[in-house]
Amino acid sequence: MRYFVLLLLLCPSVAQAGFLYETQYPPGYGLVSVQNARVYPYEYPYTSGQPISSWGPSEYKTEGELIYKFETGLSITHAEIFASVRIRGDNSYINIDISNNGSNWVNVGQNQELWNLDITNIVVGASDIWVRVKMYDEYGKYLFGPDGSRGGPRLPYTLIQFGKSFNGYYKTFSVSAEGGAMAVPEPSGYALMMMAAALMLISSLMINYNRKK
C-alpha cells in the first residue's frame, strides 16, 4: 500500500473533461466586476411587445466594463466564446478581451454583431478563462413606451447591447473549454530523493522483519 501511494504521487491525472457555460439572457454568472454598466429591460416595435434585455453602459459617453471569471477546473487544451451584441454609432463600441490570469489581456474583437471565436492560444494550459467587455455609447439612452412607441410610460434604451436576449429564445453568450483534469505537480528533485530513501528504508525494515520471523 505504501508503494502504491508513493507511485501515485509521481503520476499526473490524464482524465479528459469539459466545461460549458451558456445562457439565453444577459450573462450574470462569473461576474467579478461591474463598472458603469447595467441591464436594460425594454421592448422594440418589431418584436410585437416581446420583452428584450441586454447589458449596456449606464452613463452616456462613459465607458462601461464587465469582467467575468470562469473557473474550468481543467488544464485547458481548447476553448471558445460566443457573444451576441448590437452596436450603433460611428464612435460607439463594444470590445471583448480575454485573459488567462486577469492581468494580461488580449483583444479578440471590436464592433462585431456576433462573436464566435477560438481563444485556445490565449488560455491553453491555464485553468481559468477571464472575459472583459468594454462598452461605449456616443448617443446616450433612448426612451420608448411599453408598446415600442415614443409615448406613454417610457423605458430606457441603449443602442450598445451586450448579451442581447429575445425573451430567452436565443443563445446570447457562452464559454466552452476542453482539457485534462488538473495535473498533480511534479515532485522536485529533493522530494524524489526523499521518496527513494523512504522506499529503501521500507524495504530494509521488511527484510529484517521477515528474517526475525
Q: In this structure, is residue 176 part of a structural domain?
A: yes
Q: In this structure, is residue 127 part of a structural domain?
A: yes
Q: In this structure, is residue 147 part of a structural domain?
A: yes
Q: In this structure, is residue 60 part of a structural domain?
A: yes
Examine the pLDDT at 142 and tell me if it is beyond 60.
Answer: no
The total of structural domains in the chain comes to 1
Examine the pLDDT at 37 and tell me if it is beyond 60.
Answer: yes
pLDDT in tens, 73-84: 999 999 999 988
Bridge partners (DSSP) of residue 85 are: 162
pLDDT in tens, 177-209: 999 876 555 556 666 666 666 667 666 666 555
List % helix, strand, coil for the chain (3-state, nearest 5). Answer: 20, 45, 40
pTM of the model: 0.71
Look up cell 523512504; give the residue: 198
Q: In this structure, is residue 150 part of a structural domain?
A: yes
Rounded alpha-carbon distances, angstroms, from residue 151 to 42, 51, 76, 128, 142 = 14, 17, 51, 47, 12
Range of the domain at 44: 15-181
The rounded percent of the chain whose pLDDT value lies above 90 is: 34
Q: In this structure, is residue 196 part of a structural domain?
A: no
- CA–CA separation, 208 and 213 (whole Å): 9
Q: In this structure, is residue 136 part of a structural domain?
A: yes
For residue 85, the domain's CATH number is 2.60.120.1020
Q: In this structure, is residue 212 part of a structural domain?
A: no
